[in-house]
Structure 1
Amino acid sequence: MIGLALKMLFGDTAKYLMLVAGLFLATFLIVQQASVFCGLMRWTTSTLKNVAAPIYVVETEVDQVNETNPLRDTDVSRVRSVSAIRWAMPLYSGIQRVRQDDGSFKTIQLIGIDAASLAGAPGAMVKGNLEDLRLPNTVVIDELATQRLAKDKNHPIQIGDRFEINDIEARVVGICKAMRSFTGGPYVWTTYERALQYTPPSRKMLSAVIAAPIEGMSAEDAADEIQRQTGLRAYVNRGFGPSTRDEETEKGKSFGDFNTSTVWWYVKNTGIPFSFGTTVVIGFIVGVAIACQTFYAFVLDNLKHLGALKAMGMSSFRLSMMLIFQASTVGIIGFGL
């Protein structure tokens, strides 16, 4: 039965290729659009990957890492006073502009970290020494910045090169690996105090407080303790997924992971999921419609052969199984391509 079903399927080459092509294009469109969507959502949490810290403490109304409300500098001391915290350091994160030699401007994601501990520094240095970041007017850039901030593609930025951030000199002392930001700009690290100099002044400039729990305490318990004692919002920094706890703070905010909160903020507040979802649904409908119509025409063309098999004593169940096997074969081949 299987051999006969395959012979009937492959015998009509034109319809067989049409079936496979329709399913292939539909599958390709669905997978490609879903992959791009997942990649974009992953980029939204790039700061959390590049500035690795177990706990992020932010203002109470903050739901995602790319749009934070500034805190007071004294909030660092408040977080440090929590007994469950081993260390807590200030963090600046914001979009700034770099002025190049030809007068053009490029957008960067500026990260300011504590000069003493270098907590939040890039994890993988390609060139240079991270400790040189403590020297005056120095920055560490990611690999994307070596091309994006260069004069031309043939002369990438090297250690020792200089550029200006808001008319203040910045000298490159290191190049690191980093995930690309959602906005497309390269990451540039410097000390927290120097980041404030590079940034137009305002009353409050602290983006977040990064912290770590004491030995023997989980990040979830420490974050819960921070929220209870300071009234600030504390997130755990781990991969996208459901929280291991679902406690409610006194202000009614759910406790959880900053990656998850950031991704869901973009899902709920932007048109990105609708745009990609529409393409996926249309691709699925068109692909299924083409495949069904072609397979229906294939069955009609082979109806006389199926009738002959029925007259020879083959049961309706076995004929149905032949058609199901043919449809499954085409589906597996089309999806596998």
Structure 2
Amino acid sequence: MIWIAIRMLTGDRQKYYGLIFGIAFSTLLITQQLTIFVNLVERGASGTYNVPNADVWVMDGVSRTTDVNYPMPSTALDRVRSVPGVEWAVPHLRASASVRSGDGDLEGVSIIGVDDATLIGLPRNMVEGSADVLSQPDSVIIDDVGVTRLFEDGRSPIGERLELNDQRAVIRGIADAVPGFTSQVTLYTKYSQALRYVPGTRNRLSFVLVGAADNVSADELARRIHEQTGLRARTRDQFARDGIEFIVRNTGIPLNFGITVGLGFIVGVAIVGLTFSLFIRDNIKQFGALKAIGVTNAKIRAMVSAQAGLVGFTGYGLGVIGTMLFIWGFSANPFFKGFYIPWQIPLVSLAAVMLILALTGWLALRNVLKTEPASVFR
């Protein structure tokens, strides 16, 4: 009987392809929008991800993320170093500035000052050059996404001179960094050099990056630092989560993407429900004939379920593949750098597809179950 149900479905090619299109489009919309949403909000933690060797981030009590911070006095560094369990502690500066390129263009940039001695705070991987170039005078390293924004003509940035707050800066390396939420151009330099590039108030220290001793966990060390210094201390995972939550709470991104995902579900229900109902209505006599020869309602349900399962499996697969092709096709775009599909999202899409099929299948099945076998012979 299942084979008969499949032949009934594939025999009406117009409705069969319409059902597959409805499921595929709904799956594509839900999966793609959820993927972009997750990757976009994770950009709020990009500053933390770019410093993988820091176990604990120490900051002023009002600081919230790497981009929303309040500077501390330089004495905070010595106070943190005096806490038992601290293996090492280095200064970290993050500030905004305006830079003028050699062509005269003005661009807002983010200046990150890394430790002079250890260069902790610099991304682990380099696209071009090495971290050692920061030992040269007036050297800065630009992130790879910033290259595409600051040098749109495609020329190499190595050796280019920039005017940064009336100071000379020479690009001598390109870092492979996770882009920030705003995809702003990021320049890395030594902490002492960053202080010259970004003159400001008396307090200049944005964060203290801390490494934990072997016998102390990051959670325990963060608790000790907070108790003994009064400063806010967060582990790497906690601070990354803070950045994500800040984006979720203070922007309209979750609402906008939620509306789009909801529309994808509604469109799927509308297209699949209408097409499935038309398919059942056009084949109501065939179902009545099957009931007339003794096919039970349970077998009828199994037949409709098989039809829905075939459509759902095919459409879901095409929708997920379409999302993968979309991410792959835009992978060269700096905005989509590092985008991936978390394994939870296809499961959410699968649950949505199953719900669409269950709802539309139940509505269409009602007419079949109410059909009297005798109606076939009238």
The correspondence of residues 172-187 of structure 1 with structure 2, limited to 5 A, is 172-187=171-186
Kept after mapping to 2: 8 A contact 1:223/1:234:
yes
Inter-partner Cα distance in structure 2 for 1:133 and 1:122:
13
Which secondary structure state, in structure 2, belongs to the residue aligned with residue 45 of structure 1?
helix
Matching residue of 1:145: 146
TM-superposed deviation, 1:219? 1.1
Amino acid at match of 2:85: A
- Give per-residue Cα distances to partners, 1:81-124, cap 9 Å, x unaligned: 10111111111112222101232112222110111221112211
TM-superposed deviation, 1:207? 1.1
Inter-partner Cα distance in structure 2 for 1:313 and 1:24:
36
The correspondence of residues 83-98 of structure 1 with structure 2, limited to 5 A, is 83-98=84-99
Higher deviation after alignment, 206-215 or 304-313: 206-215
Inter-partner Cα distance in structure 2 for 1:225 and 1:292:
59
* Percent sequence identity over aligned pairs: 39
Are residues 1:299 and 2:280 paired?
A: yes
Inter-partner Cα distance in structure 1 for 2:148 and 2:315:
40
Matching residue of 1:7: 7
Matching residue of 1:273: 254
Are residues 1:29 and 2:29 paired?
A: yes
TM-superposed deviation, 1:290? 1.5
- Give per-residue Cα distances to partners, 1:5-55, cap 9 Å, x unaligned: 100110111111111111111111111111111121121111111123111
Inter-partner Cα distance in structure 2 for 1:113 and 1:69:
17
Inter-partner Cα distance in structure 1 for 2:128 and 2:19:
53
Misfit runs of 4+, over 3 Å: none
The correspondence of residues 313-332 of structure 1 with structure 2, limited to 5 A, is 313-332=294-313
The correspondence of residues 1-337 of structure 1 with structure 2, limited to 5 A, is 1-52=1-52, 53-150=54-151, 153-158=153-158, 160-238=159-237, 257-337=238-318
Structure with higher helix content: 2
- Give per-residue Cα distances to partners, 1:244-283, cap 9 Å, x unaligned: xxxxxxxxxxxxx111111112112211100111110111
Unaligned runs of 5+ in 2: 319-378
Kept after mapping to 1: 8 A contact 2:44/2:246:
no
Inter-partner Cα distance in structure 1 for 2:247 and 2:147:
29
Inter-partner Cα distance in structure 1 for 2:105 and 2:171:
19
Inter-partner Cα distance in structure 1 for 2:181 and 2:188:
17
Say what the alpha-carbon RMSD is for the aligned residues. 1.4
Equivalenced residue count is: 317
Kept after mapping to 2: 8 A contact 1:147/1:156:
no
- State the TM-score, normalized to the length of structure 2: 0.81
Inter-partner Cα distance in structure 2 for 1:134 and 1:215:
30
Kept after mapping to 1: 8 A contact 2:10/2:16:
yes
Kept after mapping to 2: 8 A contact 1:148/1:186:
yes
TM-superposed deviation, 1:77? 0.9
Kept after mapping to 2: 8 A contact 1:147/1:157:
no
